A and B are shown apart, each in its own frame.
Chain A
Amino acid sequence: MEVAQQDVLTAPEKQTVTELSGSVALLEALLVEGVDTIFGYPGGAIMPIYDALYDYKEKLNHILVRHEQGGIHAGQGYARSSGKVGVVFATSGPGATNLVTGLADAQIDSTPLVCITGQVFAHLLGTDAFQETDVINITTPVTKWNYQVTDANEIPEAIAKAFYIARTGRPGPVLIDITKNAQIQKFDFKGYTPCNHIRSYRPKPIVRAQFIEQAAQVINEAKKPFILWGQGVLLGSAEQEFKTFVEKSGIPAAWTILGAGAIPTDHPQNVGMLGMHGNYGPNVLTNECDVLIAIGMRFDDRVTGRLDKYAKQAKVIHLDIDPAEIDKNVQTHVAVWGDCKETLPMLTELVEAKQHTEWLAKFDEFTRQEEEAVINAELNPQTGEMTMGEVVEQLNHLTNGDAVIVTDVGQHQMVGCRYAKFNNTRSNITSGGLGTMGFALPAAIGAKFGAQDKTVVAIIGDGGFQMTLQELGTIMQSGVDVKILILNNRFLGMVRQWQELFNERRYSFVDIQSPDFVQVAKGYGIAGKCIKERDELQSSLKEMLDHKGSFLLEVFVTKENNVFPMVPQGCSVSEIRLK
């Protein structure tokens, strides 16, 4: 074990080889945990850690972001594209509070993160010291776990627990707040042992065979069974197990936006996207199926619409790793607690091989209606102006559905999720639960670090881009290759859509002006182009994708286009509107 350089803030004392500062112990711990990339921003209270990092430059790739919110979204993008734990550093006070949005986002979307914040010296806690904030209490509701370290001796165990808690069971963000004295303090480092057990923590409930048997029986008796899957399939790395279950059972399956990509978009049993802007068939037929099999999804209100009119006719089977999700929103008939990587094969074993041909054909009929009423006009518009849908469709042709698509929040997000092709798992990265504008640009940076052999395309609205566009600086400095596709409708489009539909077109403060995005990118040394004409679309997208390094393509799209179908607020999923 190597010893860091003499720390200037401690009195020189005799060192043995096992005497390390808290900061060096932290970095050693990260290496054992397999961390290769850290997103962060320094400051006074985390300076000892950054000082130690100077000697670890070769082993730990630190990406200097432009804002801590950018740092944590990058950590999320990294975690989502790689399946590993994202690591984020921030200083005390404003640095730490800037993480809150990302923590809330990661908490609701179950993203594994370990955030390390610096804190003022332990003897100053509670004194309103410079840049002291009560980070533990501020972040408690938005973390899976958090802990404050005031003594270097605590560091190895705290970090080990943090990684274990972040990545096991239902994953989530963990924050470790380390006081400055603990970072500096030398202590007898006895090595780092990863954690694999905490006595009060059971990451997964015990799988009970009798519930799997009950579920299989209900499925085998069903005439019109229907699978809804969510991100749990991806988080459990159960894509293969899921596919086998879907194919043997022959049951049509629809996805929540966080579940996209677990099986390819073109899979014959993939009947589309659920929820407010999902596809027509899966929404309407939710209220017609006789058995609903929910796998690793949590019946978010954006998926269910009105609960009292949601799938009342169906027996609900819910597979989830988090017991608190069972019956939280929708009452289940059979609850299958457990990791779906374990429960799905058990269920597949007991489920009869079938083909629900007629039932599947019903979905096709709805797809046909949706194509006629919505999709054709969106993907092949007869008007002069471009639509968001046709841009995404062109992108599909060029990327073959193999790109990682990162979306921001708004109309382009719904269009992106609806129309992008996802051939691969972990290829749709979006802020699902929190709906955080400003997520996409930094998340795309992180996603690229997490999946370096993939093309990463960030699809962003003109509004959301302006929330975190400072991260262009991070792209410039790190040289990361991210394709930025701005769909500019010169409006805060999604809010405008609601104002049009529900507030008599009272367009209150949604008319947003933007700078010349290409010039802005140019200022950061990033290539770019802006187009307004359809005949430039394909070649420009190709230019963007072929470009070596990052590229910003701004596409002017129709100003007042709406995303349909739509389940209006307060309506049931079967009341989904085609226009």
Chain B
Amino acid sequence: MSTEINKNISSKVLPSGEDLGGAKQEYNITVYTENQIGLLNRIAIIFTRRKINIDSLNTSPSEIESIHRFNIVINETEDVVRKLARQIEKQVEVLKVYYHTNADIIWQEMALYKVPADIIAEKASVERLLRENGARAVVIRKDYIVFETTGHREETDNLINVLQPFGLIEFVRSARIAIIKDSDGFNRKLREFEKREPGEDVIENEYLNQRDKVFTM
């Protein structure tokens, strides 16, 4: 696996040729980008234009200030995913794109569950719940408790099923984040890259709050 941050897609990164039977499966697309307004839209429309649903999308700053990392999960054939990856990599502000099957990555999703404190305390053994589901209590208040679990979809789904009868008040799940098993020295390469070519600051619109003070025509 090449981890070079450049836009010359090596055939290793985006394998061409072998056909995986054309069967659809989950693919994880990892995109390193500049931190730029509008880029999320530019990337998203590559999927919408082809009428492909994005199952999960996580975007956040990477460990390097000016570089963002997207994790995008879709259910598609490898052929489609490879073409999508090339279209994404073609965008001016995209540094690098990789794609992987679930077997090639270690992935996690985080879930939060808010449940009424009294029933839980009364009817379920909180301790057992936590232990059996690998959960953690994040907040314990008189009126409600918030639990957290992290794991694969089945794992976080499990606790919903358990808590539902006890009056689950609110549930939220994060997008998927993933670490690539075969990646080698990503962090080091990114840092070297940033040192060689520092990123630029994002310029936001600073005038939005001055509306009342300005008269224009």
Contacts and interface: CB of A to CB of B under 8 A. Distances in A.
Interface of A: 9, 44, 121-127, 136-137, 140-141, 144-148, 150-151, 154, 165, 179-181, 198-202, 205-206, 322-324, 326-328, 335, 337
Nearest to B88: A324
A335 B9 CA distance: 12
A117 to B, nearest CB: 15
13 contacts: A124-B216, A136-B38, A140-B42, A150-B205, A180-B216, A200-B7, A200-B34, A200-B93, A201-B7, A322-B90, A323-B90, A327-B83, A328-B83
Interface in B191-217: 197, 199, 203, 205-211, 214, 216-217
B159 interface: no
Contacts of A201: 7, 92-93
A136 B205 CA distance: 14
Interface string B150-176: 000000000000000000000000000
A123 B208 contact: yes
A206 B87 CA distance: 18
Most buried by A among B9, B33, B197, B203: B203
B45 interface: yes
B216 A154 contact: no
Contacts of B51: none
Contact of B92 (A9, A148, A200): A200
B216 A144 contact: no
Contacts of A205: 7-9
Interface in B79-117: 82-83, 86-87, 89-90, 92-95
B83 A125 contact: no
B16 A327 contact: yes
B6 interface: yes
A323 B86 contact: yes
Contacts of B203: 150-151, 154
Contacts of B87: 324
A140 B45 contact: yes
Nearest to B203: A154
Contact of A202 (B6, B49, B205, B210): B6
B41 interface: yes
A146 B42 CA distance: 10
Nearest to B82: A327
Nearest to B90: A324
The 5 closest A-B pairs by CB, nearest first: A202-B7, A122-B207, A324-B86, A123-B207, A199-B197
B216 A121 contact: yes
A44 B217 CA distance: 8
A121 B207 CA distance: 9
Contacts of B217: 44
B211 A150 contact: no
Contacts of A126: 208
Contacts of A136: 38
Contacts of B9: 205, 323
B211 A123 contact: yes
A145 B92 contact: yes
Contacts of B93: 200-201
A202 B207 contact: no
A160 to B, nearest CB: 13
Nearest to A146: B38
Contacts of A165: 92
A125 B16 contact: no
A198 B95 CA distance: 10
Given A123-B214, A137-B38, 6 more contacts: A124-B211, A141-B49, A200-B93, A201-B92, A205-B8, A335-B16
A316 to B, nearest CB: 13
A433 B93 CA distance: 25
A141 B45 contact: yes
Contacts of A140: 38, 41-42, 45
A123 B210 contact: yes
B40 to A, nearest CB: 11
Contacts of A121: 207, 214, 216
Contacts of B16: 326-327, 335
Contacts of A337: 8
Contacts of B92: 144-145, 165, 198, 200-201
